[in-house]
Structure 1
């Protein structure tokens, strides 16, 4: 299949879907497509059906009877029948659906499948039967694709003892565009501006087109006005997007608690104890809430680089972090039109410390994990983390933003590099000296580190001339400015 010209990237996803729907076997097959909301799953699957003449059905929140009526109407329209089909139950509907591929392999997409399964919990079992020996008697080469944004539900479809376990030949997750792809998608040439936009809206494709109608900041000087007219404006969809993201997740019933957890993280409380303290609760009371937020893809738990039993939590969707750090505390004023500019002006300190600072640290780890060359890191990386390094002699501890791990020739884990990332500071000799001291402490405490462990300095605001001169003469010192972050290795 030829990928539509208007589709940005998604080459891997299109290739996998093409392989799935073009499989020449005569038996029916199952694929599962998931991903966070607004990532373009519907656009992708609708394009597959258009390219192949397949059947696409988008479910809605409805009763079983209503859903069957909607399904029958859509199916009759696809088959060119003048009268909607009427099915007594889903058993009858699925049995008929498995017979429509009369001319060869035919994709059948059921989008928002969790809506159907919520009203009809037995539906996965009916599909399992249709895919089994009894259901294959029709010899229909249906390529059934179940799609949904409820990540916890979609993940459970193929897990454990679920009816569809072992039935799928495709399990595709449509990811958010990473920061480099997001820059290209937004068409922003200036990496400094691309970083600012990414810190607010991330790489969700819908925010570039549908939610802002193609409004892109004209330059750095237009970034603030762009935020006030698109994100802090109560007349625009991005204004309430963070609230809707939580409300749309069926697993998140106590919405106030989950907003509280996200606010705690956005305000710098990244450990379970810190989150509990912010909310005035016991840390043991938050286990379920944190697990559910992980399951739906709103937060991620990052293990500490130096303590396997410790971890920190990070918000994965920038618009959620921006909302809880900047918008939620100012919600009363923001709901009154005309106050957005005032709120934005007085929120600059919070924006730099709570949004831009953590975002730059995250991008630094992303760069080290996926884009940095082995020559830069001193070897092939296996994982990248952050961590807190204890310093018993000084009775203190030190946060390290980037810790890059690899393996030596004998297969033992080694620390290839450590790094520090700053947004607003011009990086100078003092920052390098701090990393050098941490490397010395690390060598004394951890046999995975060596005196040759690389030192990475990430500076969104640039570097002082003296430090640049030092780095030119030392292979163990690597400076990463915004241009290198976005374009180099």
Structure 2
């Protein structure tokens, strides 16, 4: 089943959904699809239902009675019921769904968390009917979908009723940085990176600004004012809404404070707790919810176990926390130009710099294996302690080989990433020092030193040093 023309990229996701929908067997099959709002999940599912003749039902925030009425109407329309369909409870509704002729297409229930929040027994009812259908050798393809990531993540976890019943678990993620460049139609890699540092790879954000991309690097500042800092554009308030869309978030004040702490560089639990004025034990749940919601990313130091750091995963949220949140009044009243002028330094240091480091790690993940000598087993960042000099060396891009436990692990590459610096001998010397220190515990015999820069490199660099510029970063998947 070919992918519809209007769907950009998403080949992997469409292939798995199409295979799930087309397979006809004599047993029930369950698929779980999740992904934050604005990623095009509903667009994909509606296209799948249209192509296959399946039933699509998109739930809304409503009482159980209203949700049942809406589902009954969708059920009746799909099956051409001669009279209005009525369900008194979800027990009746799900039994009717499993008893119906599935035809060619799957049954799709979108925004399932809206239903399970007001009807907590619903997952158990679905589980019971799956088991009954399996015993009766009755085939049905059911897709449960949702945007509340923490809720969807628990649907198949632990002792949840549906654990062990799924045949498909698909998570939609933002476009990779090079795909986002194509999606926005930007040729200049520098401009593409700056746009990605603000809006990331969320496809709906282009629609939020009427498909307007900046015309050039010189137009970037004006584009920010016309779009993200424009009170007349929905993108202005989007970051404030993202938290509220996760059903596990009630009081958002502390969550926003935690995000603000991380966005400005407080990456450890202790520093986050100190910034928000709470004990470390008081913020554990909040960090977990933000991780499950896809707004925070926890990264382990590859050289020191048990020392995780936290980073804002969604660029627009980081932009809001660094640039907009502290000056929300002036931004909302239309004084975005003054706010942007006063925030340019923070944008460069707290947004663009860290974002460049992450893009370089993403590049290492997708680069051809021969670039680093072999297929990487792990990519991350780490800190090397230099005890003799009483200092620490931060390594932005660490590429480790896969290796069996008990043997010295091979380091394929150590890299430093600088967005705004011409990289030269002093950067390489730091990496050389780190390589010598790491040789005590790791195999560094073939470690490649790498410099990643947004502005260029000194001409006399050792040719053995790997140099990766913006053109190289954006050529990774072409």
Residue of structure 2 in register with 1:349 after alignment? 345
Residue of structure 2 in register with 1:40 after alignment? 40
Candidates 346, 351, 375, aligned match of 1:380: 375
CA distance in 1, matches of 2:255, 2:55: 37
Residue of structure 1 in register with 2:231 after alignment? 234
Q: State whether residues 387 and 399 of structure 1, in contact with CA within 8 Å, keep that contact through their aligned partners in structure 2.
A: yes
- 2:426 matches 1:438: no
Residue of structure 1 in register with 2:112 after alignment? 113
CA distance in 1, matches of 2:70, 2:360: 48
Aligned residues: 476
Q: What are the superposed Cα offsets for residues 133-153 of structure 1, whole Å, 9 maximum, x if unpaired?
A: 36864x653311000011111
CA distance in 1, matches of 2:69, 2:32: 24
Q: What are the superposed Cα offsets for residues 427-451 of structure 1, whole Å, 9 maximum, x if unpaired?
A: 12222222222222322xx321425
Q: What are the superposed Cα offsets for residues 132-183 of structure 1, whole Å, 9 maximum, x if unpaired?
A: 136864x653311000011111111111221111111111111111111111
CA distance in 1, matches of 2:348, 2:180: 21
Residue of structure 2 in register with 1:393 after alignment? 388
Partner SS for 1:132: helix
Larger mean Cα displacement after TM superposition, 268-277 or 192-201: 268-277
CA distance in 1, matches of 2:360, 2:238: 27
Q: State whether residues 57 and 71 of structure 1, in contact with CA within 8 Å, keep that contact through their aligned partners in structure 2.
A: yes
- 2:453 matches 1:453: no
* C-alpha RMSD of the superposition: 1.8
Partner SS for 1:288: helix
Q: State whether residues 26 and 105 of structure 1, in contact with CA within 8 Å, keep that contact through their aligned partners in structure 2.
A: no
Q: State whether residues 31 and 145 of structure 1, in contact with CA within 8 Å, keep that contact through their aligned partners in structure 2.
A: yes
Q: State whether residues 101 and 140 of structure 1, in contact with CA within 8 Å, keep that contact through their aligned partners in structure 2.
A: no
Q: What are the superposed Cα offsets for residues 24-54 of structure 1, whole Å, 9 maximum, x if unpaired?
A: 2133321110112211110011001000111
How far did 1:273 drift? 1.3
Partner SS for 1:147: strand
Partner SS for 1:347: helix
How far did 1:411 drift? 6.3
Q: State whether residues 201 and 318 of structure 1, in contact with CA within 8 Å, keep that contact through their aligned partners in structure 2.
A: yes
Residue of structure 2 in register with 1:464 after alignment? 458
Q: State whether residues 180 and 201 of structure 2, in contact with CA within 8 Å, keep that contact through their aligned partners in structure 1.
A: yes
Q: What are the superposed Cα offsets for residues 40-95 of structure 1, whole Å, 9 maximum, x if unpaired?
A: 11001100100011111010111110101111111222223364311111111111
Partner SS for 1:208: helix
Q: What is the correspondence of 1:75-474 to structure 2 with a 5 Å cutoff? A: 75-81=75-81, 83-101=83-101, 104-133=103-132, 137=136, 141-209=139-207, 211-337=208-334, 339-371=335-367, 373-407=368-402, 412-443=408-439, 446-467=440-461, 470-471=462-463, 474=464
Q: What are the superposed Cα offsets for residues 77-116 of structure 1, whole Å, 9 maximum, x if unpaired?
A: 22233643111111111111123325x3431110000000
- 2:444 matches 1:484: no
How far did 1:407 drift? 4.1
Which runs of no fewer than 5 residues in structure 2 stay unpaired? none
How far did 1:128 drift? 1.2
Partner SS for 1:118: helix
Q: State whether residues 28 and 136 of structure 1, in contact with CA within 8 Å, keep that contact through their aligned partners in structure 2.
A: no
Residue of structure 2 in register with 1:20 after alignment? 20
CA distance in 2, matches of 1:73, 1:147: 19
Partner SS for 1:233: coil
Residue of structure 1 in register with 2:59 after alignment? 59
Q: State whether residues 201 and 207 of structure 1, in contact with CA within 8 Å, keep that contact through their aligned partners in structure 2.
A: yes
CA distance in 1, matches of 2:101, 2:310: 47
Q: What are the superposed Cα offsets for residues 347-391 of structure 1, whole Å, 9 maximum, x if unpaired?
A: 1100000000000000111111222x3332233210011111111
Which runs of no fewer than 5 residues in structure 1 stay unpaired? none
Normalising by structure 1, we get a TM-score of: 0.94
CA distance in 1, matches of 2:398, 2:455: 22
